[in-house]
Structure 1
């Protein structure tokens, strides 16, 4: 087997007899500290900031921010992953990307907190999406790079826990800063999490030098490999892609407007909104972690994936009807907990 082939397959079971627990902890802290600030800002503080700068146009501007995020993130994730694959440094191929872009993402978040116009806010938001995804792609690639097949389930669970803490815990923090004078402070606190978490994750991961690895080419063939969609035997891929797209779109249409749902639709005060978001986030964190842990073994026991995924997707969407029927804050909190139970099952499936 050639040296290049060995690089491609990563670490074997024989080369890694013990669980890489240190890397596991790095992959708890890393996702928690990039996803937490992102969700805290995108779901709560960015809509609050837009509402402060342009209250009459806030609904359309949140949609514009989402479109920018979707477009930039998709492209940046692919490009960052491809470039990190061919990076050769004494700190490895993933660490430089994680460290540099964690710092840049924190700077962008501070810039968001200081923006005085919607135009500046949206431009910085687009740049933030680019540098954030230059953290995300290299970070998750560490699992295939540095974890033997027999430990990947365990380390993926560490990563999932970090995602759960970041995704659901962020609302508890962000909800404390939705007042007009506190939005900037909240963004700056979350920027600190992004900065410290990215550096700490890279330190714990302790990626070795890869200067001894063959230099990989980044040419037209590489670009084609990373950007071309599969055309043969890819039916399940496209079904999963379309299903995931529809599920995530439906979910984040609600998440993106949750602040306005509380303040404009349910007519809650700032204090009641803050309390409701914090309560909702706590419910999501607990139920999300529990059901994410349970769903995998249940699916394995059933020896089926498609049926549970289809069922949970239907249940996930059904909760969207309930706010129309009952316009109360606790109803939304209850719906969110219900949704997270099934979303946890869906993610594991």
Structure 2
């Protein structure tokens, strides 16, 4: 899963007759289905499959496959977005990406070697990002500027809803991997059919012009040359790296590090913990956003939530128990949800130039996607080198704490 999903909207030649509420509901379903695949497959089914294939090397194999597949995801998202921009249509990319993902997931369910699992997951990541790039472009395409905040908040509920449903489905099918993979393929394909059937493409006046690679690189460098934006970018990257370095290995942590209650398997434990995390994340996203608006303070919310994310990494170290893990997931969800909500608002206030807002937000998305590529390599290296998950929690916590400190030098926002 990556988040480099900003695409430039094009002027519509005809008004959009889709009812706003219906459109947002369809987008919520489409995003929830996508995140169900990312969370259910990436957090449960894939680690379970790798553990069965390579039980002695599962940490290293998962890290390698996760890192390489993230490169495919990061590359395919902007390419697919640019191609859908130039074609002037979204539906073919949404439907094509979903159906290709269905095929990739079916392939994953039928292989039994690490090599083919890696190939299959790379295919799924690539095709899911084709779907993701086109789906996320619908908001700037179809939603008026004055209503995009509400639209983004509603669509953002796809994370707690989709994440929870995905892990629950995966936990029930972890013992029947082929069935689980096919079920997720059907979920994403059905959501694509629903969205493209009821949210048809609006004719475009003209395709968007291609942006040369040299121009994109120049834009990246010019945005990072801005003092406040550079520090916001750094804080986001460190926070995301610390978070995903630990969360990506939670199934193995539950099996190898935590004392679970008798009869509770790691996939079943994930089915309990994920709703705890997602509910906490949803609450802190809403509360943090509202309070930061009311008090007109951003840095304190971003800094405190990043620091909290770092400190709670100590909980599973000092209390490697089931109750300790519940507390960790609740606190971590509160911290990460508040951070992502308010940090996004903070970034909009430190963009170098208002007229380049979409472009520079796209640059910021590298701070989301890049650490997700690095995180599996970092996590597997730490666990392998130091022989356990305690060092992984400490490294993840340290990264989040440094991310909190990176917020302090920002001068243009209170």
Deviates more, 1:183-192 or 1:20-29: 183-192
In the alignment, is the contact (CA less than 8 A) between 1:106 and 1:194 conserved in 2? yes
Q: Which residue of 1 aligns with 2:71?
A: 71
Deviates more, 1:274-283 or 1:235-244: 235-244
How big is the shift at 1:67? Answer: 0.8
State the Cα RMSD in Å. Answer: 2.3
Q: Which residue of 2 aligns with 1:333?
A: 326
In the alignment, is the contact (CA less than 8 A) between 2:18 and 2:199 conserved in 1? no
Q: Does 2:199 align with 1:196?
A: no
* SS of residue matched to 1:55: coil
Q: Does 2:213 align with 1:223?
A: yes
Structure 1 residues 235 and 199, CA gap change in structure 2 (3 angstroms) = farther
How big is the shift at 1:52? Answer: 0.6
Structure 1 residues 177 and 342, CA gap change in structure 2 (3 angstroms) = same
Structure 1 residues 258 and 136, CA gap change in structure 2 (3 angstroms) = same
In the alignment, is the contact (CA less than 8 A) between 1:276 and 1:333 conserved in 2? no
Structure 1 residues 177 and 79, CA gap change in structure 2 (3 angstroms) = same
How big is the shift at 1:334? Answer: 1.6
Deviations 1:128-175 (CA, angstroms, capped at 9, x unpaired) = 111111111221111111111111111111210112211233222212
Q: Which residue of 2 aligns with 1:288?
A: 281
Q: Which residue of 2 aligns with 1:4?
A: none
Unaligned runs of 5+ in 2: 1-7, 343-414
Separation (CA, whole Å) in 1 of partners of 2:9 and 2:173: 46
Q: Which residue of 1 aligns with 2:231?
A: 239
What pairs up with 1:1-349 in 2 under 5 angstroms?
10=11, 20-88=20-88, 93-179=89-175, 182-210=176-204, 213-218=205-210, 221-226=211-216, 228=218, 229-232=220-223, 233-266=225-258, 268=260, 271-349=264-342
In the alignment, is the contact (CA less than 8 A) between 1:28 and 1:163 conserved in 2? no
How big is the shift at 1:224? Answer: 3.5
Structure 1 residues 151 and 63, CA gap change in structure 2 (3 angstroms) = same
How big is the shift at 1:225? Answer: 4.0
Separation (CA, whole Å) in 2 of partners of 1:146 and 1:167: 26
Separation (CA, whole Å) in 2 of partners of 1:270 and 1:45: 20
